[in-house]
Every structure is written in structure tokens, then in C-alpha cells.
Amino acid sequence: MSRFLAERYASLVAYTPGEQPTDMKYIKLNTNESPFPPSKGVLDAINTDAVSALRLYPDPECGILKEKIAKQYGFAKENIFVSNGSDDILNFSFMAFCDGKKCGVAFPEISYGFYKVYADLYGVDAKMLPLAEDFSVSAEEYCNIGRTVVIANPNAPTGIALSVREVERIVASNPDHVVVIDEAYVDFGAESCIELVHQYDNLLVVRTYSKSFSMAGARLGFAIGGRELIADLDKIKYSTNPYNINRLTLLAGAAAMDDYDYYMENCRKIVANRAYTTEALTSLGFEVLPSKANFVFARSKKIGGEALYTKLKKRGILVRHFKTEKIKDFNRITIGTLGEMKSLVAAVEAILGEAAGEE
Ligand SMILES: *Cc1c(COP(=O)(O)O)cnc(C)c1O
């Protein structure tokens, strides 16, 4: 830390992104990217006019992209906010809808690690509610909570989802606070709550192109909400960086909506590969939480979470391990292609065999 850093950031602990190592080629099951390529339409779109795409500023209103998203999900353009990854939207939501003095924020104690970082960044009082015994989010505890609520649904890193009815109870019981539902993983089999946006002006649903749309590298996220919430987010965006989505990403994002069916078919493949992985790990003695996401969260009594992570890495397979006490026995394993999942299962089996031999 330099002696120039503003005092308010002195004790800030930054988010730790999943590793993106360049030392060798790994089977990468650690940051929930899609194993499938972007659609041909997306690749064609970004190949069209590279000179203008780099020379000119992008459209700050992102009109074409917003229209495509609005049409796909049955909303008006004014209900759509787009930004540089959904992390950006979450960041803006904490800026816009959490007031340090007037109202704090509530989110699950075990969830996407960035929520706590944003709360700390803006000095917002954060109430972190423990998960239930079975690692699900206790929806009841967020009802009438009198704070901004942020919930990943399905939750990360557990993969467990709430039903729309449970989300609605939270939204309806907090009419004077914004409820942000982070649906980064919803396309992999959970119920989306976007339809509730027609009914509740305090609901913001956040989505990303990074997982189900195979575009983590493009950095694009969108949110669906009431017009006033969206206008608030635009105000923040125009007060920080109006050009925060580059031209290539705007083209890619619009083209992806034209190929929506391709992406949903990929999601169905991931769901099938998730079922395979869950069954295979379960038969190796793992406890696998019931996931509606493109990853599984699994632990074994035969090997510690960190030991399994390390041994898999030596074999060229990257998974995600969290040192947080309550989940340190688990690994979060992204669902890739069937071939990748078979390699993972074979490696886990071999590692368990070695561990048994050492006893
Ligand atoms: C991956 C992820 C994000 C971030 O997505 P980007 O659009 O890549 O910034 C947000 N929320 C959750 C829960 C995620 O897992």
C-alpha cells in the first residue's frame, strides 16, 4: 500500500478471482465458463468491421443490444440495463441502492464473494445471513428485513436455487427496498423471476453473458427491472464511464440474442453432463449438493477439499477451492464437456485410490 491510498480503502480486502494460469494447458473447471464456443452469428458479427469497431466510440445507449435483449425476454428497452459484465451491474447496484446511513444490505453469508467486497467498498452495513443446515438460502429470513437484499439464485458456490414463489415473498415483503436477484446461472435449470418485474418496482434481476452465452471474455451483463431502477443505474453509468461496453462486445451481445436457441441447447448439454458428474462423484462416495447451475459443489470424507484441489491441479485439472471455514471441505467443479467430466471423474478416482494406498 502506498502512503497515498485514501484512508477509506486502507482495510479493504479485494475480491480474489479464480486463477487463469498460463503456465500450462489445464482442463479448466474453476471459473464456470462455458466449454462451448460462441455461436457462428457472434463470430461473424465481430469479424465485420474491425476498423470502425476500434476507431469509433461505442454507442453509449447500447440501443441495438438493449432492443434485442428486451425482445427476447418480453420487455421494453427502458426495462433493460447493460454494462461491462454483471460484476459492473452489481457494483452500480451497491452504489445506487445501498445507502450507508439509511439502509444496509443483506445477503447470504456463503454466496458470491463480491457482495461483501462491494459492501465494504461503499461502507454499507452488511448483514450476512447463514445458510440453512442443507446449505440452502433461508428465504424466510429475508422477508421484511428492511434492507437492500442481494441473492444469487441459484446461489454460488452451492448451486442451490430458490423457487420463484420464495423470491416473490422476499420482494413483496420489502416494498421499500430493492431486491437484487443475481441470475448468473439461471439458464441451467432454475426458475427465473424476471416475470415478477412486471409486478414489482423494487426487483432488479441481473444476468450475464459469461456463463450460458459463452462470452466471459467479452465482459457483458444485463439487468431487467422497472424503468425507474434502470434509469438510476444509467445515471451511475453516465457518471462513471458511459462507454463501458466496447463496440465488439455490443455486436457480439446483439448477435447472441439472435442465436438464443443455440445457447439454450448448450445449456441442456451442461445439465446432462451435470447429471453424469453428480452420479459419478456420488458413487465415489462424494456428497454433491443439488445444483441448478453449471457447476457442482462436492465434498468427500475420504479427502480434504484443499488436498483434492492440489492433486487435481498436478494432474492438469483446475477446480475452485474456498478456504472459508464452513465450506473448506468442498470443491466447486465447473461442468464442461462430457469428455472433460470423464477425465475429472477418472482423476478423482485415481487420487482416492492413491490416498487409500497411503493409509
Ligand atoms: C460469474 C458471476 C458473476 C459475474 O459475471 P460477469 O458478468 O462475468 O461479471 C456474477 N454473479 C455471480 C453469482 C457469478 O457467479
Say which CATH number the domain at 66 has.
3.40.640.10
Is the pTM of the predicted complex or chain greater than 0.95? yes
| E strand or H helix that includes residue 306 | helix 305-314
- Between the CA of 314 and the centroid of ligand 1 the distance, in Å, is 27
| Among 89, 118, 182, 332, residue to substitute to test ligand 1 (most atoms within 8 Å of Cβ) | 182
307 is written with which cell numbers? 488436498
Domain-located, residue 110: yes
Which of the four pLDDT bands, split at 50, 70 and 90, describes residue 19?
A: confident
Q: Give the Cα separation of 219 and 144 in Å (integer).
A: 34
Q: Poorest-confidence range of 89-93, 160-164, 283-287, 351-355?
A: 351-355
Residue of the CA atom closest to atom 5 of ligand 1: 86
Q: Give the Cα separation of 172 and 49 in Å (integer).
A: 47
The pLDDT value recorded for residue 186 is 98
Q: What are phi and psi of 219, to 5 degrees?
A: 60, 85
315 is written with which cell numbers? 494432474
Q: Give the Cα separation of 172 and 330 in Å (integer).
A: 34
Q: Answer for the pair 33, 219: CB distance below 8 angstroms, yes or no.
A: no
The pLDDT value recorded for residue 79 is 98
Same domain, 248 and 266: no
Residue 225 has pLDDT above 90, yes or no: yes
**Mean pLDDT taken over the chain:** 96
Atom of ligand 1 nearest to the CA of 155: 13
| Among 208, 294, 295, residue to substitute to test ligand 1 (most atoms within 8 Å of Cβ) | 208
Residue of the CA atom closest to atom 1 of ligand 1: 184
Which is more confidently placed, 17 or 35? 35
The pLDDT value recorded for residue 50 is 81
Mean pLDDT (whole number) for 103-119 = 96
The pLDDT value recorded for residue 23 is 84
**Nearest to residue 104, comparing CAs of 151, 150, 172?**
150
Pocket of ligand 1 (CB under 6 A): 32, 85-87, 112, 152, 156, 182, 184, 208, 210, 216, 221
Residue 102 has pLDDT above 80, yes or no: no
Say which CATH number the domain at 296 has.
3.90.1150.10
Mean pLDDT (whole number) for 293-300 = 98
Residue 359 has pLDDT above 70, yes or no: no
Q: Answer for the pair 67, 77: CB distance below 8 angstroms, yes or no.
A: yes
Same domain, 211 and 276: no
Same domain, 274 and 295: yes
Q: What is the pLDDT of residues 36-66, one digit of tens each?
A: 999 999 999 999 878 888 999 999 999 999 9
The residue segments making up the domain with residue 237 are 40-259
21 is written with which cell numbers? 494460469
Q: What is the pLDDT of residues 230-275, one digit of tens each?
A: 999 999 999 999 999 999 999 999 999 999 999 999 999 999 999 9
Same domain, 112 and 249: yes
Distances (CA, A) of 339 to 276, 335, 350: 11, 11, 17
Same domain, 233 and 108: yes
Residue 205 has pLDDT above 70, yes or no: yes
| Among 210, 213, 214, 295, residue to substitute to test ligand 1 (most atoms within 8 Å of Cβ) | 210
Same domain, 77 and 162: yes
Number of domains in the chain: 2
